[in-house]
Structure 1
Amino acid sequence: MQPFELTIEHAAAAIAARTLSPVELVDSVLDRCDAVEQRLHAYVTVVADRARQDARRAEKEIRDGLHRGPLHGIPYGLKDLFDVSGIPTTASSRVWAERMPDGDSTVATRLAAAGAILIGKTHTHEFAYGLLTPQTANPWHADAIAGGSSGGSAVAVAAGSALFALGTDTGGSIRIPAALNGMVGLKPTYGLVSRHGVAPLAWSLDHVGPIARTVRDTATVLSALAGHDPADPASAAAPAHAPAAYPADPRGLLGLRGLRVGVPDTYYFDRVDPQVEAAVRETVELLRELGAAVTPVKLPLVEHMEATQWGLMAPEASAVHEETLRAAPHLYGPDIRLLLEAGSRVSALDYLRAQRTRSLISDAWIRLFGGVDVLIAPTSPITAARRGQETVRWPDGVTETVTDAYVRLSSPANITGFPALSLPVGTDSAGLPIGAQLIAAPFSESVLFRVGTVIEEQRTDTGGPADVPRTVAIHESSDS
């Protein structure tokens, strides 16, 4: 096994034991990046010289007795919406082609303080306004999309050109690419992680969170990110729930007896691929066998989710881009320009209706979590769509766009601001990953980590991912 294949947990242990140096780890990741980037295009910018310099500094600090914690010496990728001084932030758009920030985002500052080492900036769908990340290839299948908008971050982790990466999630943009690439992705509680220095899409829906190979790795990264930041007006004053590094539990008994698991009886299993549904329901049965109290739940106000998501996101995104869209519309991609122009035509009355509906939904969901500890459902109704595929047709005759299909199951957690974790629970007949989504009440990330860790451990014991997950064997594209 090569160093780039390690989880954060195992790499950190090796670094602490002095059996692996940050220099060796970063060199391995950069070599892997050189080997796969021509096919995958996960990165906009790779800062190899800077990464090697930071690795040498980390090695010296650790040798001198200054160990900053489990992220010290760990290489990571950063979605190209996050400012880092001296490195361009382009948002994968010609609009920002020349943009060079003069300061760091809060999360970049916190990761630097934790000793993590930046490999580079990862591709996003332009300004994070889409779910494809068309520049980036899915490593599992040559003709499948990477998902988005944090597609570059998910692919970098899956391919081994980062041990973790950060993304943003406005309607599912962390969880969807995590699911489509077989990784773990967390959208934390709204306000738990600062968005200062991060290009916005829709300020009332935007979240920052990690993508990693395991649930425990995701928890480790969140520990470094979470906390109040006065520079972000939406930053929560509530203390972060410190996510514990849960020990391995091969019998799968970790904290499940008495846990109340809700399974939606509508919405999340409506118009879902049968293979996706089967994998998630098999996971539900696993939780039941391990002592969880599983009960069907009726989700309130779900018929208003799609209209509320778009009623909030479209006008907020158009407001963000109002001036540049007027000054340089030709610099936007045609799909993004169309969305921004449409959003500018949403009336103030309709936006206020969406905000009022969101309040009603959030209040109803808070009451729902008085009876359950966690919801489990599919992350997305389909696995990775094929490149060029525009629609999904369901057996009941309904046709929806691929984007609408993906956002349908992920947007409720953005509307409510509740934490949601996607983790792999199987593959379909084409070998593409299937993700299950866990949702909990605000600031209950620890519940997600407990349940997710049990699922992960049990899948390891029953022929699922290896204890140290392998990186994806990259499939050659027919046009590469």
Structure 2
Amino acid sequence: MRTDRTLVDTARAIASGTTTSQEVMDAVLAVADATEPDVHAYVALDEGAARAAARAADATPAPERGPLHGLPIGVKDLIATAGLPTRAGSQSWARSYPIDDAAVVRRLRAAGGIVIGKQHTHEFGYGLDEPPTRHPLDPTKYAGGSTIGGAVSVAVGSSLAAIGTDGGGSIRKPAALHGLVGLKPTHGLVDTAGVVPGTTSNDHVGWITTTVADSALLLAALADLGPVRTDEGVAGLRVGCAGYFFRDLEPAVDAAVRRSLDLLAAGGAEVVWLEIPELEQAAEAHGIIGASGAAAHHRDVPADVRAGYSPGVQGFLAQAGRITKDEVARAHRVRDDVLRAVDAALETKRLDVLCSPTLALGAVPLATMRPEVDLPRYCRLTMPFNLTGHPSVSVPCEHGDKPVGLQVAARHGADATTLRVAAAVEAHTVARAAAVARG
């Protein structure tokens, strides 16, 4: 039921006059009306305000239009949006209506984007409860991390992109499970002011899109980078593959990622296999830093409000509150060690990017899912780059009923390089899917 519109193509169509923002909004809201009873991507659709904004966009003179002019985009429930609920996935915060936009929402609106609504997340982004959102390919399967509503919305076409947060893989994980592109920019590149803290210093603001070009458009608009090119190919680039990321993979995941690596090599990239032993410590340090930050954030929340948190979140925060200062200090030293090791590998091996699977496994059945067991398995390959702050993007390397994501990471500030490699992977994946369709 999706509209089959990308951000880039829709922006061009609006600019050329072949469509209007109102027509785009009508189409997207029609998809939302048809799909929401099944997928539940939205906490709140702001239909009236979105239609009014589309009318205003069509009346705006061309010289005053921004790069996201008239494009309907969803926003995660952890991100403050003036006049709309920002309940952080929690029933205890159900009456929270901010009077100010988060910094990223202000940038979005200033660039001409239209907030179509707020999208479901796990409570505080922790992944310890079950939102109502369901995977459109199979509602019995896990639909991803805490930017779950955004991924499902983009997948069905009830928004053209989704702004979310990523504290341990919460953008890249659902993107991979839905065959979408999920970018976690360099830490701090996109302002987190006005975002409900999930795992504090691990948190990043990013987005989920249909294509790499769409992600580049948002990067240019929301990070003030100017045009971001993704069409330069991979000839001459050195692609690192660390052994840590290639253990205990589902066979289909391993095969799809290695096929993409072979295609990158055929395109002129050099694939370099290496080891970064310090990565083995990343998961534990990430967990301690994130949990201690979460405990600190909720420490001053009134007891009657905390009493309304889900049992999983209450138990997590109680355990997090017992983490000692010495444990946190050791975790930060490990963070520094992992950061130095990744940077040293990039430098000494002269690597442009690190490539890996985004996830070690596909979507598991909700009925048998155990968060305490399965979430660490899902986040093992994504969380190192939250700990270190390097930019990383998940791009589909296999479409169909069982999508597979390939993760591309790069030096701090080299976000455009991750998208350049992702675009090459995307081109191979699209070509292969077209060949399969032709038989």
TM range (shorter): over 0.9
Q: Which residue of 1 aligns with 2:155?
A: 158
* Identity fraction in percent: 40
Q: Are 1:9 and 1:70, in contact at CA under 8 Å, matched by a contact in 2?
A: no
Q: 2:110 aligns with which of 105, 110, 113?
A: 113
After superposing the two structures, state which structure 1 stretch, 345-354 or 80-89, moved more. 80-89
Partner Cα separation in structure 2 for residue 156 and residue 167 of structure 1: 12
Structure 1 segments, 4+ long, off by >6 Å, are none
Q: Are 2:278 and 2:338, in contact at CA under 8 Å, matched by a contact in 1?
A: yes
Tell me how far 1:105 sits from its aligned partner.
0.6
Q: 1:263 aligns with which of 241, 253, 271?
A: 241
Tell me how far 1:256 sits from its aligned partner.
1.5
Partner Cα separation in structure 2 for residue 94 and residue 47 of structure 1: 20
Structure 2 SS opposite 1:401: helix
Q: Which residue of 1 aligns with 2:20?
A: 21
Q: Which residue of 1 aligns with 2:407?
A: 437
Q: Are 2:390 and 2:409, in contact at CA under 8 Å, matched by a contact in 1?
A: yes
Q: Does 1:244 align with 2:214?
A: no
Structure 1 SS opposite 2:381: helix
Q: Which residue of 2 aligns with 1:409?
A: 381
| Alignment of structure 1 residues 323-334 onto 2, 5 Å | 323-324=300-301, 326-334=303-311
Letter in 2 for 1:244: V
| Alignment of structure 1 residues 35-434 onto 2, 5 Å | 35-61=34-60, 64-130=61-127, 134-227=131-224, 240=225, 242-247=226-231, 254-264=232-242, 266-324=243-301, 326-370=303-347, 371=349, 372-391=351-370, 401-427=373-399, 431-434=401-404
Q: How many residues align?
A: 434
Letter in 2 for 1:436: L
Deviation string 1:381-434 (CA, Å, 9 cap, x unpaired) is: 111111122359xxxxxxx81101011111000010000000111147xx2211
Partner Cα separation in structure 1 for residue 221 and residue 28 of structure 2: 21
Partner Cα separation in structure 2 for residue 427 and residue 47 of structure 1: 31
Letter in 2 for 1:338: G
Partner Cα separation in structure 2 for residue 438 and residue 464 of structure 1: 23
Letter in 1 for 2:239: V
Tell me how far 1:322 sits from its aligned partner.
1.2
Q: Are 2:135 and 2:152, in contact at CA under 8 Å, matched by a contact in 1?
A: yes
Q: Are 2:140 and 2:367, in contact at CA under 8 Å, matched by a contact in 1?
A: no
Report the structure, 1 or 2, having the larger helix content.
2
Q: Are 1:425 and 1:435, in contact at CA under 8 Å, matched by a contact in 2?
A: yes
Query: TM-score under structure 2 normalisation?
Result: 0.95
Q: Summarize the Cα distance change of 1:193–1:255 in structure 2 as closer, same or farther, 3 Å threshold.
A: same
Letter in 2 for 1:377: S
Q: Are 1:185 and 1:209, in contact at CA under 8 Å, matched by a contact in 2?
A: yes
Structure 2 SS opposite 1:412: helix
Q: Are 1:119 and 1:162, in contact at CA under 8 Å, matched by a contact in 2?
A: yes
Unaligned runs of 5+ in 1: 228-239, 248-253, 393-399, 467-480
Partner Cα separation in structure 1 for residue 95 and residue 179 of structure 2: 34
Q: Are 2:154 and 2:162, in contact at CA under 8 Å, matched by a contact in 1?
A: yes
Tell me how far 1:282 sits from its aligned partner.
0.4
Tell me how far 1:5 sits from its aligned partner.
1.7
Unaligned runs of 5+ in 2: none
Q: Are 2:233 and 2:267, in contact at CA under 8 Å, matched by a contact in 1?
A: no
Partner Cα separation in structure 2 for residue 168 and residue 367 of structure 1: 27
Deviation string 1:115-173 (CA, Å, 9 cap, x unpaired) is: 11111000000011117753210011121121111000111100100000111000100
Tell me how far 1:332 sits from its aligned partner.
0.4
Letter in 1 for 2:408: L
Partner Cα separation in structure 2 for residue 66 and residue 111 of structure 1: 18
Partner Cα separation in structure 2 for residue 316 and residue 305 of structure 1: 16
Tell me how far 1:349 sits from its aligned partner.
0.5
Partner Cα separation in structure 2 for residue 319 and residue 261 of structure 1: 39
Structure 2 SS opposite 1:195: coil
Q: Are 1:131 and 1:403, in contact at CA under 8 Å, matched by a contact in 2?
A: no
Q: Does 1:452 align with 2:422?
A: yes
